[in-house]
Structures are given as C-alpha cells and as structure tokens.
C-alpha cells in the first residue's frame, strides 16, 4: 500500500508539473522533443506522429522533464529556428517556466475543491484534556470543549468545521506568532465562552507533533472507553470488559482516553508498576476494579500496559460545502498553505525554524501509505498538500529550479542582456550543491524519525 500510494502520488504530481511546461510551450509555438515522467532508462514510451514529441516513462519516478528544441543544446535547422525555446520572447520563456509550478497549485485547488464538494468525514472540533503546561491548559481548558469559531486577534471570527480545521488555525497562528481568539462551548456550561490563546509566545521552530503538544491539541476528544481486550493482559486479569467507561484512576478523574493512556504508560516509568484502583461504569452501574499494569519496554523506555484499547472513536461529522463556497475555500487553503510553506522556509534560512521540518521521500512515502489506508478522500488531501509543496519548492530562486530560471529572466528584463554562459554554469553548480544539501538534510531527518 505504501509503495503503491507513493508511486501514484509522485507520478501524478510530476506528470501535472511537466504537463504545465509542455502545454504552455506548445501554446507558445515551441517544439517539444521529449516529455518524460521519471529519469534513467526508458521503461515505456511512444512518439507522436503529428508533433514528433517522444513521451517517455523513466525507471526512476522521482522527477521528470520537458526537453524543448534549443540552439544552446544542439544545432537547429533554419526552418525550425522559430520553434526553438531560446528564440522566444522573454515573456514566453517566463510563461513556460512558470507553468509547471502553477499547474501544481491549480491541481491543489482542484483536489481541495473535490474534497469540499463531495464531503469528508472528520473528527469534530472537540479538544481532549490538554497537558498541564500547555497553552490550552493555561487558558482554562480541561477537555471536552467544542470549538465553534476562531479568528486571529483583531480579525473577525470564522466557523470551525472540524478538529483538523482547528489545528490548522493553531499551526498558522504559532508559526506567524499571532494570538488566536476562540469561541467554544463547555460540557459544564450551556452558553458560549471565549478565550484568547497566546500563540505568539509559543516556540514554533518545529511545525510537528511537538508543536501541538505545547499547544495542547495532540488528538481530538475521545471517551476513555475500553475496546478490544487481550486475553492475557492486565485488563483481562482485572475482569474489565469492552465497553467499560473509565471515570477515575486512583484519585485522578479521567476526562478522555489520552489522559488514561498516559496514566497507564507512566505507571511503569519508575520500574514495576503499582496497582491502580479504577472506577468504571458498565451497563449504567458504577463499580471499582483493581488493575495491575504490566511492565514492558517501548524503544528502550519502561512503560506500563494493560493489554486493551483505551479509546472510543471520536465524534465525527461530514464536512461538505457548496460549489462556490467549496471553490473559494480551496483557493484560500492553497494560498494559505503556500504562504505558510514559504514562511517556514524563510524561518529555516534565518535560523528561527528547525531543519527538522524538512522531509524526504521516506516520510512522504509513509504519509502517502497512511492517507491511502484512510480512504480516497484523505489521499486526495495528501496529494493536494504535496502538490502545493512541489509548486512552492520549484519557485524558490535556486538556479537549478524553475524559480532560478525566472531570476535569469528578471535580470535579462532589467539589464537588457541575458546572463552569460559562464555565470549560468557557475550558478547551476551552486544551485545543484544547495539542492543536494537540502536532500541530504531531508534523508537524515527521515532516518532519524525511523530510529525514534
């Protein structure tokens, strides 16, 4: 599943990117010699009888290219000179180069729109019990609050459709150092309440799970209700049953499954776990049981386990929008994701964000497999996010990328003359070195995540 999903994602994103270059090149009258998805030895291909373009699928799917007629690469016949890339006006060359990243951004809009129109099952925006030293805990959240609306300080509030929608607000606020105002309902009170979350003070150097842990929204709220029970585990020995709802462990009231999960694991952190007294409800009646978690090792750390699922599925809702609203939200999500990606990249350059934010093919493949396992809709959301990332990455002003070529054309438009061949070669080598360094960091991060 993981390998297949990764290949489908990479091939689709690369094909769309190169199709952007190809389409605009043909529209500008440039002859395309080869359209390739993938590098290396040719696996499959055919040649168009009308245009003469060779369409190829290469062995290595991690990229692709569009090879155009160009006097700088090979001699061009006099009757075909008008179709060579290098003879085109500056605006045409810039349009051809820009078309690849734009095609990826357009694909993201299309995918987000499809998801918005067809609908997606998502967890409701109900927060679990936050860690004691988190932003939500400091703001008075105890778990079970449902977020209704949110907005940055000074802006109007907007409806929050799902838990992921709320996390998106939090991520943008933390990275942009903007406080977030939220409107919510509490299990203890009927009326709506408001709170200001001071995200401007959060260390957002790494936009990962640790960031959400600091904020206090690692997972949506789910009841501490037992599921499947292993016959040889501590839960079975305590005569616990699937469907039991845990209300208290010793003197600690249990709010949600995450809290119970952490209490069970922490019971083994100091060695052999001690017995715990649990207050549960079963078929409407309360009863007390004694549970003795078993000591186990998790990546070299001692933890306690009871041999049972301790989480009920979170409350779900179908999020669906109309044609206009769905398209508008897709455009907004693509723009916001692009801006957020650029902001994080800029922060990494100046040292405000960690290089651990860079992910490579192993992490991408892992997320591709996980999203595909969750269903087609989640896989489309993943594809949209990767398409935005690919589009933004190619717009970076590195000579070997599309953005670097656009910088050449900008220089040519300002100076009236193209970048010399000598400087082009030097800058290409510099761009290649920078790109290889980025790839090295990404691979190291991937391996590090695997070893954790």
* Residues annotated catalytic, as ranges: 18
β strands within 207-332, DSSP E:
245-249, 252-253, 276-282, 285-291, 294-298, 301-305, 316-319
Tokens representing 310? 């301790």
Q: What is the dihedral of CA 441, 443, 445, 449, to 10 degrees?
A: 180
β strands within 50-209, DSSP E:
54-68, 120-123, 146-152, 158-159, 180-186, 189-197
DSSP calls for 353-394: S-GGG---HHHHHHHHHHHHHH-HHHHHHHHHHHHHHHHHHH
Gap between the Cα atoms of 342 and 352, Å rounded: 13
Tokens representing 233? 């585990």
Residue 102 sits at φ, ψ, to 5 deg, of -65, -40
Tokens 């300002």 correspond to 414
If we measure between CA atoms, which residue out of 364, 370, 432, 377 comes closest to residue 401? 432
294 DSSP β-pair partners:
305
Q: How many helices (H) and strands (E) does the chain have?
A: 12, 14
If we measure between CA atoms, which residue out of 155, 35, 162 comes closest to residue 100? 35
Bridge-based pairing state of the strands 301-305 and 294-298: antiparallel
Gap between the Cα atoms of 219 and 341, Å rounded: 23
């Amino acid at each position: 599943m993981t390998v297949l999903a990764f290949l489908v994602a990479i091939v689709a994103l690369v094909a769309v990117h190169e199709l952007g270059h190809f389409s605009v090149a043909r529209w500008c009258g440039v002859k395309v010699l080869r359209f390739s998805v993938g590098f290396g030895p040719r696996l499959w291909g055919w040649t168009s009888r009308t245009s003469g373009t060779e369409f190829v699928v290469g062995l290595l799917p991690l990229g692709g290219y569009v090879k155009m007629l160009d006097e700088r690469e090979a001699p061009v016949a006099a009757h075909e000179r008008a179709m060579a890339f290098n003879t085109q006006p500056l605006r045409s060359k810039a349009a051809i180069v820009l078309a690849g990243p734009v095609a990826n951004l357009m694909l993201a809009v299309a995918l987000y729109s499809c998801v918005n129109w067809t609908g997606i099952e998502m967890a409701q925006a109900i927060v679990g019990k936050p860690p004691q030293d988190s932003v939500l805990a400091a703001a008075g959240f105890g778990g079970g609050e449902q977020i209704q609306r949110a907005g940055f300080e000074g802006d109007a509030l907007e409806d929050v459709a799902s838990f992921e929608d709320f996390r998106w607000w939090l991520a943008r606020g933390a990275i942009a150092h903007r406080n977030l105002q939220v409107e919510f309902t509490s299990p203890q009170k009927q009326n709506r309440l408001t709170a200001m979350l001071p995200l401007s003070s959060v260390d957002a150097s790494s936009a990962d799970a640790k960031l959400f842990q600091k904020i206090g929204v690692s997972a949506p709220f789910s009841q501490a209700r037992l599921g499947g029970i292993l016959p040889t585990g501590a839960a079975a020995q305590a005569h616990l049953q699937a469907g039991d709802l845990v209300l208290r462990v010793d003197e600690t009231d249990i709010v949600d499954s995450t809290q119970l999960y952490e209490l069970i694991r922490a019971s083994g952190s100091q060695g052999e776990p001690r017995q715990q007294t649990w207050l549960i409800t079963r078929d409407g009646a309360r009863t007390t049981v004694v549970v003795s978690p078993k000591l186990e090792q998790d990546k070299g750390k001692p933890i306690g386990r009871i041999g049972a699922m301790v989480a009920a599925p979170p409350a779900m809702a179908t999020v669906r929008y109309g044609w206009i609203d769905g398209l508008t939200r897709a455009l907004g999500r693509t723009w916001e994701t692009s801006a957020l990606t650029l902001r994080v990249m800029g922060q990494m350059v100046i040292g405000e964000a960690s290089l651990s934010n860079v992910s490579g093919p192993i992490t991408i493949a892992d997320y591709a497999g996980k999203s595909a396992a969750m269903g087609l809709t989640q896989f489309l959301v993943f594809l949209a996010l990767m398409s935005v990332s690919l589009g933004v990455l190619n717009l970076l002003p590195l000579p070997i990328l599309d953005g670097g070529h656009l910088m050449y054309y900008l220089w040519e438009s300002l100076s009236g003359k193209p970048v010399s061949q000598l400087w082009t070669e030097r800058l290409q080598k510099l761009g290649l070195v920078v790109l290889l360094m980025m790839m090295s960091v990404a691979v190291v991060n991937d391996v590090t995540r695997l070893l954790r």
